[in-house]
């Protein structure tokens, strides 16, 4: 079965995979939030620092993003329609979370008096997160937590994701995503990826953006050649084995782009869907991702700033899901209904 055949319609596992990935981010972050930034989950230890469960989730989001956003570019055709869809998807929840963080969470948790908090320029600098300029701290907030004052670290992926949208549509607009031309981008991409990985080896923040951007590119590639990519169980198993072997051998970045992509595509589209509890339900993975870190930090602060990571995970999860539902119902759902009314 080709990827084209497998990906037709909505009978796939993508919604479940995204929800699992969002929960994995919470699980992964429970270590550093509970014990300090120099602690991480056991996958990071097994892989000799190459990847965490949170990184796996980000890779999954970006690969699926590349596949689906490439599809959106083809359907949208014009930049106006394409970016309108992307803005409506990305910004409403992001703005809501950032604003609530500054004007609700911050005032309740800051060690400063309210006058000092609201007259501090750093309070308002945090609002730059809503326009994809990461600012990690709020004045007097989480100052006693072992994880430090970072309020919502995962927001660093937002500008990376939007940059991928821009690159995707630019390539579509200049017809580089045509089947006859896309294959030539591989020749340029692979040495460029290796070169940038080497150049940025001493800049961990910038280097961290390379892998998800690479997965976004392979997602685009899989979409463009979906009628030629055959999904077979034994190939997915072989790719999975290669991934596992690469962890203790410190070779993950040599194999992850195409092995991880193939495994994700197989699990997402080729594995028969045997559940229906998510049918017709909204995808809350994005909202969960946005709400997770601040709530986990709040739980840590309520427990003295340091706690057991499993307790942090279990106490945070229901609150994060509830917050995600509220954000979706009050913000995203209203934006979507407003858009439909104008059509």
- Split at pLDDT 50, 70, 90, the class of 342 is very low
pTM of the predicted protein model: 0.93
For the CA atoms of the chain, what is the radius of gyration? Answer: 21
Helix (H) or strand (E) holding 245: helix 233-246
Say yes or no to pLDDT of 340 above 70: no
Burial code (b: 16+ CB inside 10 Å, e: under 16) for 293-327 equals bbbbbbbbbeeebbbebeebbebbbeebbebbeeb
Say yes or no to pLDDT of 343 above 60: no
Mean pLDDT of the residues in the chain: 91
Residues 225/182, Cβ–Cβ less than 8 Å? yes
Residues 326/174, Cβ–Cβ less than 8 Å? no
The phi, psi pair for 2, rounded to 5°, reads: -80, 160
Q: Mind listing the pLDDT tens digit for each residue in 104-153?
A: 999 999 999 999 999 999 999 999 999 999 999 999 999 999 999 999 99
Total number of domains in the chain: 1
Residue 45, classified by CB atoms within 10 Å of its CB into exposed (0-12), middle (13-18) or buried (19+), is exposed
- Split at pLDDT 50, 70, 90, the class of 276 is confident
Note the pLDDT of residue 205: 66
Q: Tell me, what DSSP letter sits at residue 111?
A: S
Nearest to 257 by CA among 207, 312, 193, 200: 193
Spell out the long-range contacts of 339-343 with Cβ–Cβ below 8 A and sequence spacing 24 or more. Answer: 339/88
Burial code (b: 16+ CB inside 10 Å, e: under 16) for 137-150 equals bbbbbbbebbbbeb
Q: Mind listing the pLDDT tens digit for each residue in 212-262?
A: 999 999 999 999 999 999 999 999 999 999 999 999 998 888 899 999 999
Q: Mind listing the pLDDT tens digit for each residue in 17-53?
A: 999 999 999 999 999 999 998 889 999 999 988 899 9
Domain that holds residue 89: 3-342
């Amino acid at each position: 079965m080709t990827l084209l055949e497998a990906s037709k319609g909505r009978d796939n596992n993508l919604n479940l995979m995204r929800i699992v990935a969002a929960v994995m981010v919470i699980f992964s972050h429970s270590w550093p939030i509970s014990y300090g930034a120099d602690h991480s989950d056991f996958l990071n230890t097994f892989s000799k620092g190459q990847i965490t469960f949170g990184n796996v989730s980000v890779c999954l989001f970006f690969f699926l993003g590349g596949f689906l956003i490439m599809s959106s570019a083809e359907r949208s055709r014009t930049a106006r329609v394409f970016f309108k869809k992307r803005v409506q998807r990305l910004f409403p929840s992001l703005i809501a979370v950032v604003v609530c963080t500054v004007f609700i969470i911050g005032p309740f948790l800051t060690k400063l008096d309210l006058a000092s908090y609201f007259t501090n320029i750093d309070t308002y600098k945090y609002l730059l997160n809503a326009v994809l300029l990461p600012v990690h701290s709020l004045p007097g907030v989480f100052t006693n937590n072992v994880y430090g004052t970072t309020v919502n670290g995962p927001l660093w992926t937002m500008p990376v994701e939007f940059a991928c949208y821009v690159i995707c549509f630019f390539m579509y607009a200049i017809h580089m995503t045509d089947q006859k031309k896309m294959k030539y981008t591989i020749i340029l991409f692979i040495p460029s990826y290796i070169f940038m990985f080497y150049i940025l080896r001493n800049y961990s923040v910038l280097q961290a953006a390379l892998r998800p951007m690479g997965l976004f590119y392979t997602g685009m590639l899989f979409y463009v050649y979906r009628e030629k990519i055959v999904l077979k169980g034994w190939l997915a198993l072989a790719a999975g084995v290669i991934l596992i072997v690469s962890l203790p051998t410190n070779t993950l970045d040599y194999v992850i782009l195409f092995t991880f992509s193939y495994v994700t595509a197989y699990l997402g589209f080729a594995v028969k869907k045997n559940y229906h509890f998510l049918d017709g339900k909204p995808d809350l993975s994005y909202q969960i991702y946005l709400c997770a870190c601040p709530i986990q930090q709040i739980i840590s602060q309520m427990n003295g700033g340091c706690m057991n990571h499993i307790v942090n995970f279990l106490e945070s999860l229901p609150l994060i899901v509830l917050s995600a539902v509220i954000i979706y119902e009050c913000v995203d759902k209203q934006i979507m209904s407003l858009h439909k009314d104008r059509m």
